[in-house]
Amino acid sequence: MSATAAIAATDSAVGAARPVTDAAADVISGAKPPRGALGRSAMDGPAWVGWAFIAPFALCYLGLLAAPVLEGFWLSFNAVDLLTGKGQFVGLANFLDLVRDEVFLRCARNTIFFAAICTPAFVGLGLALALVLNRPGRTGAWLRGTFFASNVLSVTVVTLIWRLVLLPDRGLLSQSLAAFGLPDLAPLSNESLALPFIALVTLWWGIGLPMMLILAALQQIPPDLYEAAALDNASRWRSFRFITLPALRRTLIMVAIIQVIGQLQVFGQAQLLTNGGPNNSTRTLVMFIYEALFDQWALGYSAAAAQILFVLMVLGVSFQRWAERREGAQT
């Protein structure tokens, strides 16, 4: 091809690409696209189209979430008879009764302590498993599937398995301790051990999801960063501290927020393993709400306890978000 023909071909290609380049420049600069004969942009449409797309979700959100939350908030200020459905406004009386209720205060302490145990354990163990299992090959895939498998089990199946493990005298734990000449623990009958062992059961059951979330974020880190660190003779600890942890910061905080919300609502494990015993040492706020409603038929009292649980969840999430912003400002 001659030089003249090459120049002509280049000019035609540039001329063909110029409209696309100009359009991209208009988008970047914020210039409005040309309007048609009706004065409407080519990308504009009827205003009702956007509302039609969000209407199904908005209706479901208002009907299934927002309305029950507002109704529960209103019920917390009333004394309601479930048989007749009639209520009487009592103001803050339900909340004042909760503050003076020793059982409720014990349930609140148990719930906060349970979340304080489980949340760091889920984040730390999930991070450790993700680091260990972040490797290609069938072995890594098999191990990831094994650790995630317990996450798909129902709470009934999980508690049934662990009741057999923790049975006094005949359970797997008791038999293992007896084989080494150690005394039986009977953890579910011990006030100081029952709640930590329920946390252990919860950790075994739910560790798969945090592990997979952290593993997904771990695999998004560009390997070039580790190669550059290796060329600078950076140790594994320094690479983990200055590359891995900053890249996983948002994911770790998200996992922590999910766990705070989830563990403050613990119910099934405590209900099926200990039924709140011994001596209310494993009774949680959700169990208290459930029993106040279906055993005592105190709808307003139960709704007031639910509002306090909601406040605890908001405070937990707010603390996590505050810690995230503070860490981001320091870095």
Tens-place pLDDT, residues 79-108: 887 776 677 888 899 999 999 999 999 999
Q: Any long-range contacts for 191-198 (C-beta under 8 Å, 24+ apart)? A: 191/278, 191/279, 191/281, 192/281, 194/274, 194/277, 194/278, 194/281, 194/282, 195/110, 195/113, 195/114, 195/117, 195/281, 195/282, 196/117, 197/166, 198/114, 198/266, 198/269, 198/270, 198/273, 198/274, 198/282
pLDDT greater than 60 at residue 271: yes
As a whole number, mean pLDDT of residues 241-270 equals: 91
pLDDT at residue 99, as a whole number: 92
pLDDT greater than 50 at residue 289: yes
pLDDT at residue 248, as a whole number: 92
Res. 282 pLDDT band, cuts 50 70 90: very high
**Of all residues in the chain, what percent carry a pLDDT higher than 90?**
40
As a whole number, mean pLDDT of residues 155-162 equals: 92
Residue appearing with tokens 């939350």: 69
pLDDT digits (tens, 9 = 90+) for 7-59: 344 444 444 444 444 444 443 444 454 554 444 444 556 778 888 888 898 89
Res. 330 pLDDT band, cuts 50 70 90: low
pLDDT greater than 80 at residue 3: no
pLDDT at residue 107, as a whole number: 95
pLDDT greater than 70 at residue 136: yes
pTM recorded for the entire structure: 0.78
Residues 99 and 45: their CA atoms lie apart, in Å, by 55
pLDDT at residue 201, as a whole number: 94
pLDDT at residue 277, as a whole number: 86
Least confident of 80-84, 176-180, 254-258: 80-84
pLDDT at residue 45, as a whole number: 62
pLDDT greater than 90 at residue 290: yes
As a whole number, mean pLDDT of residues 128-152 equals: 85
Res. 235 pLDDT band, cuts 50 70 90: confident
Average pLDDT, the chain: 83
Least confident of 181-185, 296-300, 319-323: 319-323
Pick the CATH number of 93-330 from 3.40.109.10, 1.20.1300.10, 1.10.3470.10, 1.10.3720.10: 1.10.3720.10
| Domains of the chain by residue range | 93-330
pLDDT at residue 71, as a whole number: 87
Question: How many Cβ atoms are within 10 Å of 53's Cβ, its own excluded?
Answer: 10
Residue appearing with tokens 């209407």: 55
pLDDT at residue 169, as a whole number: 83
As a whole number, mean pLDDT of residues 199-215 equals: 93
